[in-house]
């Protein structure tokens, strides 16, 4: 039975889900931020189904000194403007962790800290929520927070993931959205 006193959310990883990954580097400018076209349909569907859309992203490029928080905020402002233009809505919340991998910060994926903070702040029922990510760390973090998972990745990764649903691309998720996200 659905708990109507709580909200539901879709947590989106950023790089590889909203925008194309930059192989071997970090997105440090708006010019490098290239949307994945199928993201917009997935986002619009989330809004239509009353999910709170939230970004959960590791950004250790800041911890490494390769970019600043100001750079990141500029990229996210640009991102939000484009999503609003395309869909009429934008993300309610953008959570990022700038810590280095070796810091083992509880907020940094695969740890669930950013997701559990969101669950508290937005009064979210994790069991009615989803995480969409393209790394095993997205899936591990979401599962630790009790959130259902959709993994976007290539067949090599399929053997290691324990996600509830697996699709090769955002386009493939798009084709199956109505079937899996109620």
- Interface with Mg ion (CB under 5 A): 13, 15-16, 134-135
Closest residue to Mg ion, Cβ-based? Answer: 16
Residue 7 vs 164, nearer CB to Mg ion: 164
Residue 46 vs 141, nearer CB to Mg ion: 141
CB of residue 154 to Mg ion, shortest distance in Å: 13
Name residue, tokens 């969409």.
132
Q: Give yes or no: 13 in active site.
A: yes
Q: What angle do CA 13, 78, 172 make, to 5 degrees?
A: 40
Please tell me which residue in 3, 13, 92, 134 is annotated as part of the active site: 13
Residue 15 vs 90, nearer CB to Mg ion: 15
Q: Give yes or no: 15 in active site.
A: yes
Query: DSSP code of 34?
Result: -
CB of residue 102 to Mg ion, shortest distance in Å: 19
CA distance 139 to 56: 12
CA distance 164 to 181: 12
CB of residue 140 to Mg ion, shortest distance in Å: 13
- Asked if residue 150 lies in contact with residue 33, where contact means CB atoms within 8 angstroms, the answer is no
Sequential DSSP letters for 102-151: GG--TTSTTS-HHHHHHHHHTTB-GGG-EEEESSHHHHHHHHHTT-EEEE
Residue 38 vs 134, nearer CB to Mg ion: 134
| Burial of 6 (C-beta count, 10 Å sphere; 0-12/13-18/19+) | middle
Please tell me which residue in 15, 105, 134, 138 is annotated as part of the active site: 15
CB of residue 12 to Mg ion, shortest distance in Å: 10
Active-site annotation, residues: 13, 15
């Amino acid at each position: 039975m659905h708990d109507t006193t709580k909200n539901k959310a879709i947590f989106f990883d950023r790089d590889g889900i909203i925008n194309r990954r930059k192989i071997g580097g970090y997105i440090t400018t708006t010019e490098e931020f290239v949307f994945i076209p199928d993201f917009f349909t997935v986002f619009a569907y989330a809004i239509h189904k009353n999910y709170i859309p939230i970004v959960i992203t590791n950004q250790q490029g800041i911890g490494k000194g390769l970019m600043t928080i100001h750079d990141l905020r500029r990229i996210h402002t640009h991102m939000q403007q484009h999503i609003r233009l395309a869909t009429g809505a934008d993300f309610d919340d953008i959570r990022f962790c700038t810590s280095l991998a070796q810091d083992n910060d509880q907020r940094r994926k695969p740890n669930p800290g950013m997701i559990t903070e969101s669950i508290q702040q937005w009064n979210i029922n994790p069991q009615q929520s989803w995480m969409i990510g393209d790394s095993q760390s997205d899936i591990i973090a979401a599962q630790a927070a009790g959130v259902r998972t959709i993994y976007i990745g290539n067949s090599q990764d399929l053997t290691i993931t324990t996600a509830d649903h697996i699709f090769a691309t955002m386009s493939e998720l798009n084709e199956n959205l109505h079937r899996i996200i109620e």
